[in-house]
Amino acid sequence: MGNQRDGRRPRAADRVGVIRVGPAALPSHESADEAIEVLVSSGYDACEIDFEGGFWMDWDYAHHLGALARHAGVALSIHAPMAAFLGHAEYGGRKHHMAIGMLDHTAGIAVACGAAPVVIHPGFLLGRERAQAIDAVVAQLGELRERLAAKRRAVPFGIEVMGRVRDLGSLDDVIAICRRLEWVRPVLDFAHLHATSDGGFTGPDAFAAALAVANRVLEPSIPFHIHFSDVSFANRNEKSHLPYGQGTLRAEPLGQALARFARPATVIAESPDEASNQTIRTILQHPGLSRRSMRRSTHD
C-alpha cells in the first residue's frame, strides 16, 4: 500500500509510516507559546485547532503559532466551525453564504499558521437522494475553491466520516467526494465508524479495510488523517465520546493496521479527558511500552 494504489500490502522493509498524535484542541487560547509548550511537554507532535464552536484566534496568534509549531515539529490541522459545511439544499441562501464566509476565514488562518487539512463535515441529506446531496457538496466545494485560490488560500480540505448511519457522511460518501476533488482528503473518524458499524471495529482487519479505501484516494506522502476516541452508540448512531476503556473501541488494532501501510498518519485524539488521550498516544507511538505497562498492572 503506501505509495501503491492497488491495495497490496508493502514488504515489511517498506513500512516506514510515522504516526503523529495530538489533541483535538489547542491547550491555550491566550498564548501560542504556552500552547506549543504544553503540547511538546505532553509528548504530542500534532494538534487540531478547535474552531468547532467559533473563531477565537487572531492573525498575530496564527502567524506566531505557525512559526512555533514548525520549530517544534508539531503538525497542525484545523476543524472548521460546525456550521461551515457545504452541500446546502438552498443554494445561495443565508446558511450557504455564512458557511462560505466561515470556510474562507478558516482557510486564511490555515495559511497563516501552516495548518492542513481544514476539516469539515459533509452536511446532510435534507430529504435528497444521496447522489444528489453528494453532487451539491462537490459543486459548492468547487466554487469555494475558486474563491480561495483567488485569495491565495487554496489549502487542502478534509471531509470527516460521520457517526449517523442514515445521514450523509458514510465512508463511501466521503470517498465519493474525494475522488472528484483532488484537494479534498478523507478524514477517518473511527469512533464514528465503530458506531455506524454497530461496534464492528474490534480487530486490525476492519481498520485496515477502511485505511485501504482512503489510501487509494490520497496522493503519495500525504498522511492519513484520523480522529480517534472511545465511543458510546445506540442503533448505529454515535452518542458521545468516552474515556478510553469505557467502550469497546481500542487503539491497539488501529496501530496494527497502520503498520501495514508505508503512509504516515496523524491521529487526533478526541477523548473527553487527557489521561485517555495519553493512553491512546502511548499505544500508537510506543506499543511495546504500553504492553509492558498492561502486564505490570495485571500482576499488581
Euclidean distance between CA atoms 21 and 174, whole angstroms:
23
If one compares 294 and 68, the residue with the highest pLDDT of the two is: 68
- pLDDT, one tens digit per residue, over 112-147 is 999 999 999 999 999 999 999 999 999 999 999 999
Helix, strand and coil percent figures for the chain, each rounded to 5:
45, 15, 40
* pLDDT at residue 12, as a whole number: 32
Say how many Å lie between the first and final Cα of the chain, rounded.
41
Phi, psi at 41, each rounded to 5°:
-65, -20
Is 12-299 a CATH 3.20.20.150 domain? yes
* pLDDT at residue 203, as a whole number: 98
Mean pLDDT is lowest, of 9-23, 61-75, 212-226, for: 9-23
Q: Do 161 and 167 meet the contact criterion of CB atoms below 8 Å apart?
A: no
Is the predicted pLDDT of residue 288 greater than 70, yes or no? yes
**CB-based contacts of 214: which residues, under 8 Å, 6+ apart?**
175, 186, 188, 224
Q: What is the mean pLDDT of residues 35-51?
A: 98
- Grid cell in block for residue 33: 507559546
Is the predicted pLDDT of residue 5 greater than 70, yes or no? no
Query: Domain residues of the chain, as ranges?
Result: 12-299
pTM over the 0.75 mark: yes
* pLDDT at residue 293, as a whole number: 56
DSSP-derived 3-state class of residue 266: strand
- pLDDT, one tens digit per residue, over 247-277 is 999 999 999 999 999 999 999 999 999 999 9
* pLDDT at residue 223, as a whole number: 98
Q: Do 122 and 173 meet the contact criterion of CB atoms below 8 Å apart?
A: yes
* pLDDT at residue 54, as a whole number: 96
* pLDDT at residue 290, as a whole number: 57
Is the predicted pLDDT of residue 7 greater than 90, yes or no? no
Strands 230-234 and 237-242: antiparallel
If one compares 35 and 289, the residue with the highest pLDDT of the two is: 35
Average pLDDT, the chain: 92
